A and B are shown apart, each in its own frame.
Chain A
């Protein structure tokens, strides 16, 4: 048993080294070392972007693993159920109702707080209802989640068009972050928030290993199941909100990295799974963004690659899980 833990530590260390290499490459490839001004400029552009990618990799990777364990299924992730579109919708709706000139919309951190509060309440309501109503039938949850994604997106686009029928494209870009348009104003706040979340949920996170055994076993072993699930679900929604606020919606990232982590580590230990999925996320995002910037010279956004590969991977997982 200890051998397995030791082996996994080694694997995680390997991943971590890859993260470092990817980050270093991202910062230094095609940078002008000779000219100090150009060098400083490149650093100034690249540093916040790198930090944002690392944070979102953690938020998405952690949230996906936790969510999968909560509902005891590895092909469902919060983003597939439309949580990130819901966040975009909430953000747009807030700007829609308070007006794009008001303090709430102009101050990035303030509007982020309002979005988070709304997201916490609304997402918990919607998704608890969804699970309850479908009796945790995973296929229905997935299908309804996919429909919800398009539902939220449609409303969001409609609101944007209503706000400004002529310039809605520009408005949309300013409302929804993306990899070419990251939201770096909220870095500090997000870091504090994530730290607070981990502290607040530390006991519940420790219970995840037991929750993996299923509801009945968890209760049998003395877990206050419903309360624990509620808190973790709230944590998941907030993590997704943070990631979406910074880099915009990327639906399939969580699915890919969470399952890669599970396949590599083959363990139930969530501390290791979360770390693994975070590292995979960092490698995919940072490495992918580097390729996008230097090979495709920004023409194709990274989310396109993630969508295509993630969609194929999802089909593979779905068919594999249903073959039996």
Chain B
């Protein structure tokens, strides 16, 4: 029972937040109205509020699980869709789709985004595995720069072909355009997360290293590439529908791991729940600050996420890999040797 305490608490919080999110908005909507069969209110619920809520939940779950998978596979706590070139590659893919097929549908754009995100992520992971950095923080630094360069190419193309306006939707993540019929792609996260859950132990083993997994009869390369592909498709499907949202894949798994350790199967559900809760809360903040207007979710996440990330870095600098342990979560698959080396001057 104690083992599942955090899961239960997170579920309850998420439920409360979801319900209150449904009743937050410009158009009037309340319980009595819905129960009395007020058609207008029911319509608001079905066309706008419910799709938005579902999109938010899928986004939070998708991005944080993608981050968790990437961190496990790369043996590095700082890899994530935004620090691993996945998001920027997906954006480049969308731009290419817009350039070559101006009349493309959501699904064909998504196809391009998937391919680009998968290739970008593979390339990045291949790169960091080939170099093998001594310091763990090198990896996100290289990843962010990698993303910068890809982003630069994207903006070069979009300036050159005057697509900046068209592309801006996918550069800054926002839920304001979510309506029924335009977001269903994001449901793809559900089967993918289920697959991830089934293969969680495999990811865990692969994260322990090539020799370790071969010893246990797990095909290292197959699982690695499958895992990265799942993470990339999860990310890309969010980017296509909502746009880029940074930090979630980075922050959420780290916060959960600080409390629950690194065994992926034990943390996957909590990570997914907390990710959804985090995005939901950020979205509610974005909708209330300048109501009746709303701020794009990316801005709120950008502010909160960077503060949390910097806090995380300072914590790690001070305490090394030591995590906050509640209860006796034991299995610490210490995946990287990252006690920060203090260089003198």
The short answer to whether A and B are in direct contact, CB under 8 Å, is yes
- The answer to whether B299 and A158 touch across the interface, beta carbons within 8 angstroms, is yes
- The answer to whether B162 and A158 touch across the interface, beta carbons within 8 angstroms, is no
Q: A151-B302, A155-B303 are in contact. Are A142 and B141 (CB under 8 A)?
A: yes
Q: A134-B317, A304-B155 are in contact. Are A150 and B306 (CB under 8 A)?
A: yes
Let me know if A318 is at the binding interface, CB within 8 A.
yes
- The answer to whether A312 and B295 touch across the interface, beta carbons within 8 angstroms, is no
Looking at the complex, which one of A165, A299, A312, A314 makes contact with B159 (CB distance below 8 Å)?
Answer: A299
Let me know if A307 is at the binding interface, CB within 8 A.
yes
CB-CB nearest in chain A for B140: A143
- The answer to whether B156 and A140 touch across the interface, beta carbons within 8 angstroms, is no
Let me know if B145 is at the binding interface, CB within 8 A.
yes
A-B contact count (CB 8 A): 116
Let me know if A133 is at the binding interface, CB within 8 A.
yes
Q: A139-B135, A143-B137, A308-B152 are in contact. Are A314 and B145 (CB under 8 A)?
A: yes
Let me know if A300 is at the binding interface, CB within 8 A.
yes
Let me know if B289 is at the binding interface, CB within 8 A.
yes
Interface residues of B, dominant DSSP: helix
**How many angstroms between the C-alpha atoms of A311 and B143 in the bound complex?**
11
Q: Which residues of B contact A (CB under 8 A)?
A: 78, 131, 133-135, 137-138, 140-142, 144-146, 148-149, 151-153, 155-156, 159-160, 162, 246, 289-290, 293, 295-296, 298-300, 302-303, 306-307, 309-310, 313-314, 317, 340-345
Let me know if A315 is at the binding interface, CB within 8 A.
yes
- Max chain A Cβ within 10 angstroms of own Cβ: one of B78, B141, B317, B342: B141
- The answer to whether B149 and A308 touch across the interface, beta carbons within 8 angstroms, is yes
CB-CB nearest in chain A for B296: A161
Let me know if A27 is at the binding interface, CB within 8 A.
no
Contacts of B298 in A (CB 8 A): 154
- The answer to whether B313 and A144 touch across the interface, beta carbons within 8 angstroms, is yes
Let me know if A34 is at the binding interface, CB within 8 A.
no
Q: Which residues of A contact B (CB under 8 A)?
A: 72, 133-140, 142-144, 146-148, 150-151, 153-155, 157-158, 161-162, 165, 214-215, 296, 299-301, 304-305, 307-308, 311-312, 314-315, 318-319, 322
- The answer to whether A318 and B306 touch across the interface, beta carbons within 8 angstroms, is no
- The answer to whether B142 and A315 touch across the interface, beta carbons within 8 angstroms, is yes
Contacts of A305 in B (CB 8 A): 156
**How many angstroms between the C-alpha atoms of A153 and B246 in the bound complex?**
13
Q: A148-B306, A151-B303 are in contact. Are A215 and B131 (CB under 8 A)?
A: no
CB-CB nearest in chain A for B316: A140
CB-CB nearest in chain A for B82: A150
Min CB gap A73→B, angstroms:
9
- The answer to whether A144 and B310 touch across the interface, beta carbons within 8 angstroms, is yes
- The answer to whether A146 and B144 touch across the interface, beta carbons within 8 angstroms, is yes
Min CB gap B171→A, angstroms:
11
Contacts of B289 in A (CB 8 A): 162
